[in-house]
Amino acid sequence: MATIIDGKKVAEEVLAECSREIEELKVHGITPGLAVVLVGEDPASQVYVNSKVRKCAELGIHSEKVVLSKDASQDEVLATVKRLNEDAAIHGILVQSPPPSQIDEEEIIRTIDPAKDVDGFHPENVAKLALEDPSGFVPCTPAGCMRLLEASGVKTSGADAVVVGRSMIVGKPMALLLMARGSDATVTVAHSRTEDLAEVCRRGDIIVAAVGIPEFIKKDFVKQGATIIDVGINRVEDPAAKRGYRLCGDVDYKDVFEKAGAITPVPGGVGPMTIAMLMKNTIKAAQAL
């Protein structure tokens, strides 16, 4: 039976560190500031953006929420980013992904000042992660996954880790973090084209699931005693639920529970960690001044 990895609890620890660091900055007359840009009306994105802004308020981080219409032009989004790049009260800028289809997200990301890129998506920060240069920003979700592994005492050194998913937001940075010096895992990156995915996943002492398919990882994908980090947050229809849907991960939690050694729940696993690491990155941006 699996130990449940409590993301809410570990996130509280990270946020307590954040509070101390914010106090320290305020002694020096600096209030960290985060700008969150949402283009369009995607309901899940609205929830994420609002929870980021709420967390800033709880901690005493200044925040600015910019909402642009779903048919905003590329130039409007670029102008917003450029304005925020120049704003001394803003240390971190985040443009919620994915934007509507008329927006070239790559160009938006490249326009964010790398020193304010608290998502860690700018090519300069991607390069720093690959180079293991600690001055860069590490994307929040994979950084949160690493912190969960550490806090749970999961041994990564020499372990076989399988990352399922190759996105720039999670899969690729997660693989780099796991293989970096100090973490020292042997990493396999699997994805939608991987042959015999179940067999590949069964090699993993650690599985990080970031495929975006509800309850995709079943118990036949899992080695006995493996640690499972479930990055998925999927809405699936559920007429019995108050809102008409329920949240589930990319892992079939009930199916794998007996076989896994440790597992993150959804909700209450990786989700709270992502926000906590965003707060950390915003503070790091303010400290770098």
**Residue 194 near residue 114 (C-beta atoms within 8 A):** no
**Residue 224 near residue 180 (C-beta atoms within 8 A):** no
Q: Which is nearer to ligand GUN, 102 or 224 (CB)?
A: 102
Among residues 25, 93, 94, 176, which is the contact residue for ligand GUN, using CB under 6 A? 94
Q: Which stretch binds ligand GUN (CB under 6 A): 89-97, 109-117, 157-165, 224-232?
A: 89-97
Which candidate in 113, 117, 119, 252 is catalytic?
A: 119
> What does the alpha-carbon distance between residue 132 and residue 129 come to, in Å, rounded to a whole number?
5
Active site residue 96: yes
Question: DSSP secondary structure string, 208-267?
Answer: EE----TT-B-GGG--TT-EEEE---EEEE-TTSTTSEEEE-SB-HHHHTTT-SEE--SS
Which candidate in 52, 172, 280, 284 is catalytic?
A: 52
> What does the alpha-carbon distance between residue 19 and residue 15 come to, in Å, rounded to a whole number?
6
Query: For residue 173, is the peptide bond before it cis, meaning its omega torsion is within 30 degrees of 0?
Result: no
Angle at 232 between CA 228 and CA 237, to 5 degrees: 125
Applying the rule CB under 6 A, the residues between 125 and 144 that interact with ligand GUN are 140-141
Q: Using CA atoms in the order 136, 142, 144, 146, what is the torsion angle rounded to 10 degrees?
A: -90
**Residue 285 near residue 91 (C-beta atoms within 8 A):** yes
- The residue nearest ligand GUN at its CB is 97
Q: Does 96 bind ligand GUN (CB under 6 A)?
A: yes
Q: Which is nearer to ligand GUN, 95 or 175 (CB)?
A: 95
Q: How far is the CB of 263 from ligand GUN (least distance, A)?
A: 21
Active site residue 52: yes
Count of residues of this chain found to bind ligand GUN when the rule CB under 6 A is applied: 9
Q: Which is nearer to ligand GUN, 45 or 287 (CB)?
A: 45
Q: Which stretch binds ligand GUN (CB under 6 A): 1-9, 23-31, 90-98, 242-250?
A: 90-98
Residues that bind ligand GUN (CB under 6 A): 94-97, 119, 140-141, 169, 274
